[in-house]
Amino acid sequence: MGEEFYAIIKLVSGEEILSLVMIDENDGDPVVVLQNPITIKSFHNQHGMHLKVKSWIEMSDDDFFIIKLDKIITITETNDKKLINIYNNYIEDDDTIDFYNSSGTGKVKPSSKMGYLSSVEDARKNLEKIFKDLKES
């Protein structure tokens, strides 16, 4: 097996994959070994550009996939720190869907639309106040 490198792969199906890649010569019939491949889709709204990240094959528990070269249009190595960080953060995170934006940290801050209403401390204080008010009435 060859060295590992981060790569963006364009398949004949039209899919684009970001993955940690190794090339295996496999007795003169080379194959590409993908480790935890992901897909990234970009979209824009009034808050800027966002990226939706998900596993390439969502229903599989496998981490490694093998692709023959005839299924690949092109492979390009990437050293883009932002893309590599997005990849590594997604792989380390247990969530199935992550949203990233182009701001400094890369992650979108939770909003009330996402269910984030307050900090734990603020919620505790509010609940205690409601409970005290109920006891007094």
| CATH code of the domain containing 19 | 2.30.30.100
Between CA 66 and CA 63 the distance in angstroms is 10
Answer yes or no: is 121 within a domain. no
pLDDT tens, residue by residue, 74-133: 999 999 998 898 899 888 875 444 455 555 555 666 665 566 667 788 888 888 988 888
Structural domain includes residue 97: yes
Q: Which residues contact 49 (CB under 8 A, 6 or more apart)?
A: 42, 43, 101, 102
Do the domain assignments include residue 65? yes
Nearest Cα neighbor of 37 from 7, 13, 76, 78 is: 7
Question: Could you list the residue range(s) of the whole structural domain that residue 51 is in?
Answer: 5-111
Number of structural domains the chain divides into: 1
Does residue 133 fall inside a structural domain? no
On whether residue 45 sits in a domain, the answer given is: yes
For 112, the token pair is 């009330």
- pLDDT tens track for 33-46: 999 999 988 888 88
In a domain, 126, yes or no: no
C-alpha torsion angle, residues 35, 51, 102, 104 (rounded to 10): -50
Asked whether the CA dihedral 49, 106, 36, 62 is positive or negative, the reply is negative
Q: Is residue 124 one of the residues assigned to a domain?
A: no
pTM attached to this predicted model: 0.63
Is a pLDDT exceeding 90 seen at residue 67? yes
Q: Which of 92, 72, 91 is nearest to 13 (CA)?
A: 72
The answer as to whether 119 is a domain residue is: no
